[in-house]
């Protein structure tokens, strides 16, 4: 399995920022992934997995070692009779939601507007529109880079919480996930709910500019976007990074932004909210690499 060196990562994130990977590869099957993991382990390379790059802020300095992008590891099997769905790590969440709807399987309608992959959603417990991935997850097939063997863990063993899972602290690599959806529904009805959720998101969120989705977790029962908007921060800008004028919990790349601009704006919003409301907003987005 070949890898490339000094590959810019901006094209592999939805924010369109980030420096180069020292080494970079996009495996197309499990065998290639295992070869890459074995090589990284044997060579003592740092290892980083990314999917669709929709929840990542990668440093302008880039990432050392080997970066593996799983977005080519696609595929899903849906059983309309039982509602069981098995999806590969690189399968796009919107694609899976649409396929489930066409099969008359309910339970993923909330996910159609999430610009991520199954692997990333499993790790982050992605959620929207009142639903989250943990609600329908049965188990996950993982691989340990140190040993190279695949194993299965049930959802109950992954310590799921709000935008949290045990996988965020582990080195395991997600290979696939198995879901239990609701069989026997009308494809038209599930499709209508799915489309309505997408319309709700696209009409209220800034999809016309590069973003990472929601930047901050909601400090329930409060909403991060409302707190930020109440301080008049919509439109506030540092370099090419701007608090969206459409939805205050989005930071968009208006053109030419750097990761340092995104990082500085995140910290500024946190400081302003903490000063005004006495609470610290916690980012959903994961920072990778060095930041000042």
Domain 4-69, classified CATH 3.20.20.80, yes or no: no
- 76-204 and 224-288 have identical folds: no
Which of 113, 254, 286 lies closest to 266, judged by CA?
Answer: 286
The answer to whether domain 76-204 has CATH 3.30.420.40 is no
Active-site positions read: 163, 214, 284
Q: What is the dihedral of CA 219, 112, 97, 86, to 10 degrees?
A: -50
67, 181, 254 from 62: Cα distances, Å: 10, 39, 21
Cα 45 from Cα 166, distance rounded (Å):
23
* Residue 203: predicted pLDDT: 87
Fold of 224-288: 3.90.78
Tokens matching residue 30: 């499990």
- Token readout for 217 is 């977790």
Domain ranges in the chain are 4-69, 76-204, 224-288
CA-wise closest residue to 224 among 252, 266, 165: 266
pLDDT given for residue 207 in this prediction? 87
SS3 content of the chain, % helix, strand, coil (to 5): 30, 25, 40
For the segment 37-81, what is each residue's pLDDT rounded down to a tens digit?
A: 999 999 999 999 999 999 999 999 999 999 999 999 999 999 999
Q: What is the pLDDT of residue 48?
A: 95
pTM: 0.92
Residues of the chain with pLDDT under 70: 1
Phi, psi (rounded to 5 degrees) for 277? -120, -5
Q: Distance (Å, rounded) from C-alpha 149 to C-alpha 41?
A: 13
> What pLDDT shows up at residue 147?
80
């Amino acid at each position: 399995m070949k890898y490339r060196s000094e590959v810019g990562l901006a094209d592999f994130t939805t924010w369109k920022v980030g420096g180069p990977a020292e080494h970079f590869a996009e495996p197309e099957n499990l065998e290639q992934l295992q070869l890459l993991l074995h090589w990284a382990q044997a060579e003592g390379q740092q290892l980083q997995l990314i999917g669709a790059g929709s929840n990542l802020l990668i440093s302008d300095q880039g990432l050392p070692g080997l970066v593996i992008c799983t977005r080519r590891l696609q595929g899903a099997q849906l059983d309309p009779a039982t509602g069981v769905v098995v999806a590969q790590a690189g399968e796009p969440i919107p694609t899976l939601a649409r396929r489930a709807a066409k099969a008359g399987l309910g339970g993923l309608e909330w996910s159609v507007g999430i610009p991520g992959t199954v692997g990333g959603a499993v790790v982050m417990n992605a959620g929207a529109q009142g639903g989250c991935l943990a609600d329908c997850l049965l188990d996950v097939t993982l691989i340990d880079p140190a040993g190279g063997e695949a194993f299965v863990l049930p959802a109950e063993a992954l310590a799921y919480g709000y935008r949290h899972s045990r996988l965020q602290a582990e080195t395991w690599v997600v290979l696939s996930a198995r879901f239990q959806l609701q069989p026997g529904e009308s494809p038209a009805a599930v499709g209508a709910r799915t489309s309505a959720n997408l319309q709700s998101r696209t009409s209220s969120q800034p999809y016309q500019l590069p973003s990472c989705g929601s930047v901050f977790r909601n400090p329930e029962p409060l909403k991060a976007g409302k707190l930020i908007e109440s301080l008049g921060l919509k439109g506030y800008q540092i370099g090419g990074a701007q608090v969206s004028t459409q939805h205050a919990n989005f930071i968009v790349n208006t053109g030419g932004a750097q990761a340092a601009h995104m990082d500085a704006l995140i910290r500024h919003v946190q400081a302003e909210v903490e000063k005004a409301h006495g609470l610290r907003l916690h980012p959903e987005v994961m920072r990778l690499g060095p930041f000042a």
